[in-house]
A and B are shown apart, each in its own frame.
Chain A
Amino acid sequence: MIDLSLLPDGGMAWLDASGPGSHLVLSTRIRLARNLATYTFATRNNLADREAILRDVLQAARETVSLRNALNFRLDQLERVDRQLLHERHLISRELAGIEESATVRSGAALLVQDRVGVMLNEEDHLRLQGLRSGFDLEVAYQEVDRLDGELGQRLPFAFHSEFGYLTSCPTNVGTGLRASVLIHLPGLVLTKEISKVLQGLAQVGLTFRGLYGEGSEVVGNFFQLSNQTTLGKTEKELLDHLGKMVRQVIEYEEQARAVLLRDVPTIIEDKVWRAYGLLRHARSVSFDETMNLLSGVRLGVGLGLVDQCGMYALNKLLVHTQPAHLAALEGVRPEDPDLSVRRARFVRALLEDEAGRRGQSP
């Protein structure tokens, strides 16, 4: 089992709930897709090419400030549970982790990570540079990944076309290669049934949404990842400004929805929030999906000032550590352990009790 404590703040500095707007926005992520001009793309290359790409990038990375002390994970040499752990930490994509049913991990797949930036290697593109920040922080997330891009681009020949820009394996990523996403919690819009209107509106202005774990994942616990759909024909700044503007709009809608709920149905909301808290505080067996939905209720309660027995940091900690591979690692069992739901309930109870005690209150 890999030791995630090696990562700064266990690799979850971005989830520490300290960033701007963190009562609604968990994290901001920006990725830049890049390929080396000297090798064929992922669908047409072989293991020797992928090994050569790894070697070239590792050598260049050692000379950069952004990645000179990076941890290097060879995913094709890690057990499935470890790959799942890195995926649950949002450090690698589902595809790179190779954790789909019947999927295998691609030979040569690797991750470099240092502080809040990293590179996925031999994913759909040779390099997927990524920057992660806690809260809603597009500007700084971009600055960090842009610096990494500059440092690597000076040392490696990226595939670039004077008209089309950075060349990618899939034409949907060509141009800037930039995908910015904001992970946001929208229970108010879901409860007031405004969410479909908002998501349709976003689609009309060129934005898209995904579930908790990005591409190909489902929406759980009212968490949505909002991101730009197109990557070409606009500058990086224009893409980020547009997404930022729209996210601020969504935050405003969510806050309005919460105000309406508190004004019109305060008892129903209070009941919902406390039932969620009560279940988490006392349940003896709870699945991951149910945990996520209950945590969503408690998070809403904390955001509305109805629940002061726990803080956002504790909720984020629960969000991370109740995921199957994380919980299994904590408990020293396999993710498919039959008692995992019982262990999860016990873990949640203990953490919430401790948190309530620390805050000097008992419900």
Chain B
Amino acid sequence: MRCTQCHEREAVVFLTQIAQDQVIKLHLCERCAAEKGVETTASLGKTPVGTFLASMGKGLESGAALPAGIDPSGACPTCGATLSDFRESGRLGCAECYRTFETALRDLLRRLHGSSRHLGERYAPPGAPAAESEAARVAQLRDQLRVAVETESFELAAELRDQLRSIVGEG
């Protein structure tokens, strides 16, 4: 399908806009989409994910210090995905990627969702006794809470305290 703007290039962005109470359908090529300020991979820098991904790439290229525990090559030990792979596709390679890129992802998730903390249903994989995993979770939260207080991250500390309360009760 041809771009409805320039009628030359192949349309890659299919947009339904509601402007002045009219539903407008646009089929745009990458260049015309970018000119209209529509977010495509070409204009990634304008989105939170894009800004984040772009800054990740720069950090790596300039050899910036990486958080402890991260392979200096930047690759996930399980699937081999790197941050530049993530920058290109916007997709993580495997569950382990979330641990490998944990610090960076925490920041991204806060920007995307307004929080990086899952407050929904807890899950224990088959075979893991639920009580044991709950105890482990409480221990982990207490540990995180102590660090948060020590580093004066009071907002995080309050969030952790609430999570602890929701598990162990008001006490």
Contact = CB atoms under 8 A, between A and B. Distances in A.
Given A196-B19, A232-B113, A43 B89 contact: yes
B120 A235 contact: yes
A236 interface: yes
Contact of B113 (A169, A199, A219, A233): A233
Interface stretch (B33-41, B57-65, B66-74, B93-101): B93-101
B118 A44 contact: no
Interface in A162-176: 162-172, 174-176
Interface residues of B, number: 43
Contacts of A245: none
A261 interface: no
With most chain A CB atoms within 10 A of its CB, the pick from B20, B80, B115, B119 is B119
Interface string B112-146: 11111111110101100000000001001000000
Given A43-B91, A44-B79, A176 B21 contact: no
B15 to A, nearest CB: 9
Contacts of A174: 98, 109, 113, 118
B98 to A, nearest CB: 5
A154 interface: yes
B120 A195 contact: no
Contacts of A153: 123, 125-126
Taking residues whose C-beta sits less than 8 angstroms from the other chain, chain A's interface range is: 35 or more
With most chain A CB atoms within 10 A of its CB, the pick from B20, B79, B94 is B94
Nearest to A194: B21
A164 B118 contact: yes
A163 to B, nearest CB: 6
A157 B93 contact: no
Interface in A32-53: 35, 37, 39-44
B121 A170 contact: no
A164 B105 contact: yes
Contact of B114 (A163, A196, A199, A233): A233
Nearest to A163: B117
Given A44-B94, A161-B99, A171 B23 contact: no
A201 interface: no
Given A43-B91, A178-B120, A216-B14, A162 B113 contact: no
A354 interface: no
Contacts of A233: 113-119
Given A158-B125, A218-B14, A41 B120 contact: no
A162 B114 contact: no
A159 interface: yes
A168 B97 CA distance: 11
A174 B123 CA distance: 14
A38 to B, nearest CB: 9
Contact of A164 (B25, B93, B98, B121): B98
Nearest to B95: A159
B42 interface: no
Contact of B137 (A39, A162, A236): A162
B120 A234 contact: yes
A240 to B, nearest CB: 11
B16 A219 contact: yes
A335 interface: no
Contacts of B1: 101
Contacts of A43: 89, 91, 93
Contacts of B89: 43
Contacts of A238: 119
B55 interface: no
A211 B16 CA distance: 9
Contact of A219 (B19, B23, B90): B23
Given A218-B16, A233-B115, 6 more contacts: A37-B95, A174-B98, A196-B19, A219-B23, A233-B119, A238-B119
Name the 7 nearest CB pairs between A and B, nearest first.
A165-B118, A233-B115, A193-B21, A159-B95, A232-B113, A176-B120, A157-B125
8 contacts: A160-B125, A169-B91, A176-B121, A232-B109, A233-B115, A233-B119, A234-B119, A238-B119
